[in-house]
Amino acid sequence: MRRVLILGGTAEARALAASLTGVHVVSSLAGRVSDPRLPSGEVHIGGFGGAAGLAAWLRDHRIDRLVDATHPFAERMSASAARASQLTGVPLLALRRPGWDEEDGDDWHRVPSLPDAANALPEGARVFLTTGRRSIPVFAARTDAWFLARSVDPPEPPVPSNVEVLLARGPYTADGERALISEHRLNVLVTKDSGGTMTRAKLTAAREAGIPVIMVDRPPHPDGVQATDDVESAAAWAQG
């Protein structure tokens, strides 16, 4: 039986694992979330030790196909997957959800990195920060600003005095996002171009509230890796 390793943690990875038939599926989760949504089939939690460690794991577990369905900002894992594929000859496919597109009425300001996003904040901003708990120190240095930082798990203490943490897990609704913007008098949204529907409601709420969005662009993906944005075509490739 063909053995497929899915580097996951995303909705697309879970959908792919559920759709595969006639193969042995192993889904790998990084272990950064304390209570992750688990996919169908066998699950591996934790890292591999870089590209060399992943290559050894692929060989030891006789993996025939490798799918990188990690978060679009999991730059290090994607690089390790590409290198491990080169080292072992195991075919690799990247499953990437499309990024978000600006719509009429949006006021987006694209930046290449989190530090650039912090620098782009207007003086005294009240910020809806949705870039993950590990990014909080980057923004908290802007002591003139106040942040409502949403994350699935609590950040490492101490939490800076200009940051209020909201623990929540998507999917989110436009009504809920509107309420947060109004209640906390937020006047700018900072987010990553993650794509997908689970967290898109914040963009709708920001547009309706007339507040700007600082959008962090995705990092470049490894060269030469076959890619798709469709779960069905990824399943056909993995099973074919």
CA 87 to chain centre: 26
Q: Residue 137: name the closest of 168, 163, 119 by CA.
A: 163
- What total number of domains does the chain contain? 2
Question: pLDDT tens digit string along 111-134?
Answer: 999 999 999 999 999 999 999 999
Shared domain for 178 and 158, answered yes or no, is yes
For range 2-11, the mean pLDDT? 94
Q: At what angle are helices 75-88 and 50-60 packed, to 10 degrees?
A: 50
103 occurs within a structural domain? no
For range 80-109, the mean pLDDT? 97
Please, are residues 151 and 131 in contact by the beta-carbon 8 Å criterion?
no
Q: In what order do the strands lie in the sheet with 146-151?
A: 108-111, 213-216, 188-192, 126-130, 146-151, 163-167
The dihedral region occupied by 168, where left means phi > 0, alpha psi between -120 and 50, and beta the remainder, is beta
Domain that holds residue 78: 3-98+219-239
Shared domain for 211 and 225, answered yes or no, is no
Shared domain for 142 and 93, answered yes or no, is no
Quote the mean pLDDT of the chain.
95
197 occurs within a structural domain? yes
34 occurs within a structural domain? yes
